[in-house]
């Protein structure tokens, strides 16, 4: 066990005591995860969830999203923000899958090595590192880590990532030190803690269960004092 692995075990144990251990049941639906994640780009869950619900209740199959007019799709998902942009991204991604595979199924990704599957998805229009990782983690339970702003911020504050690491580099670096069976737990608990305590501008260090092992506590104590 490396020093990083030991540190991660301590972090997750403390966060579990605070928030509970998150239950995980892969959806088995990579298309739903792809569309859900595209809708969540640059917005909150509060906005993206109703947009996804509107799509999933209106259409019996995701195939319909290619057939309808882009402007109509944009109107349906407008609550997610950037409706026109996301409508184009969804249709372009689905069209690219159809062209590559001659069908609209992503089930084949389940049998591919994680890195290879992620690169395949990243080759689709509008799909970056985080979106590809979300599809693989939430649909298939693959040990790939989506790094959002919370995971990235907390990983740097806790010293798991060097200050020079860019967001697009963070997934693979963190995956190399996080036990594969803990990836989902790490993702969910860091997001929860980032939203509640370790906030971007004014982290609540005095209320943080990780303060005794966080190298950033003294810095924030100084600037907040």
Of the pLDDT bands very low, low, confident and very high (cuts 50, 70, 90), residue 221 is: low
Say how far apart CA 87 and CA 91 lie, in whole Å. Answer: 6
Q: Kindly report, residue by residue over 150-194, the tens digit of the pLDDT.
A: 999 999 999 999 989 998 899 999 999 999 999 999 999 999 999
Residue pair 4/20 in contact (Cβ under 8 Å)? The answer is no
Say how far apart CA 86 and CA 109 lie, in whole Å. Answer: 23
Q: Kindly report, residue by residue over 75-99, the tens digit of the pLDDT.
A: 998 988 888 999 999 999 999 999 9
Query: CB under 8 Å to 95, separation ≥6 — which residues?
Result: 66
Q: Kindly report, residue by residue over 20-79, the tens digit of the pLDDT.
A: 999 999 999 999 999 999 999 888 888 899 999 999 899 888 889 998 999 999 999 898
Reduced 3-state DSSP string for the chain: CCHHHHHHHHHHHHHHHHHCCCCCCCCCCHHHHHHHHHHHCCCCHHHHHHHHHHHHHHCCCCCHHHHCCHHHHHHHCHHHCCHHHHHHHHHHHHHHHHHHHCCCCCHHHHHCCHHHHHHHHHCCCCCCHHHHHHHHHHHHCCCCCCCCHHHHHHHHHCCCCCCCCCHHHHHHHHHCCCCHHHHHHHHHHHHHHHHHCCCCCCCCHHHCCCHHHCCCHHHHHHHHC
Nearest-Å Rg of the Cα atoms of the chain is: 19
Residue pair 73/86 in contact (Cβ under 8 Å)? The answer is no
Q: Output the pTM of the full model.
A: 0.91
Residue pair 149/190 in contact (Cβ under 8 Å)? The answer is no
């Amino acid at each position: 066990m490396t020093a990083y692995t030991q540190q991660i075990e301590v972090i997750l144990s403390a966060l579990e005591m605070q928030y509970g251990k998150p239950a995980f049941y892969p959806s088995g639906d990579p298309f739903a995860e792809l569309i859900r994640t595209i809708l969540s780009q640059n917005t909150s869950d509060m906005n993206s969830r109703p947009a996804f619900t509107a799509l999933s209740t209106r259409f019996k199959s995701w195939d319909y999203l290619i057939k309808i007019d882009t402007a109509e799709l944009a109107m349906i998902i407008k609550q997610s923000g950037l409706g026109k942009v996301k409508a184009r991204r969804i249709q372009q991604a689905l069209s690219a899958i159809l062209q590559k595979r001659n069908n609209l199924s992503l089930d084949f990704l389940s049998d591919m090595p994680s890195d290879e599957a992620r690169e395949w998805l990243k080759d689709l229009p509008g799909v970056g590192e985080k979106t590809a990782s979300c599809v693989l983690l939430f649909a298939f339970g693959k040990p790939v880590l989506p790094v959002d702003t919370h995971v990235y911020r907390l990983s740097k504050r806790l010293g798991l990532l060097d200050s020079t690491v860019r967001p697009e580099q963070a997934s693979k670096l963190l995956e190399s030190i996080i036990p594969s069976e803990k990836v989902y737990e790490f993702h969910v608990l860091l997001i929860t803690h980032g939203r509640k305590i370790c906030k971007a501008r004014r982290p609540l260090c005095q209320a943080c269960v990780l303060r005794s092992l966080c190298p950033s506590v003294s810095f924030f104590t100084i600037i907040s004092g």
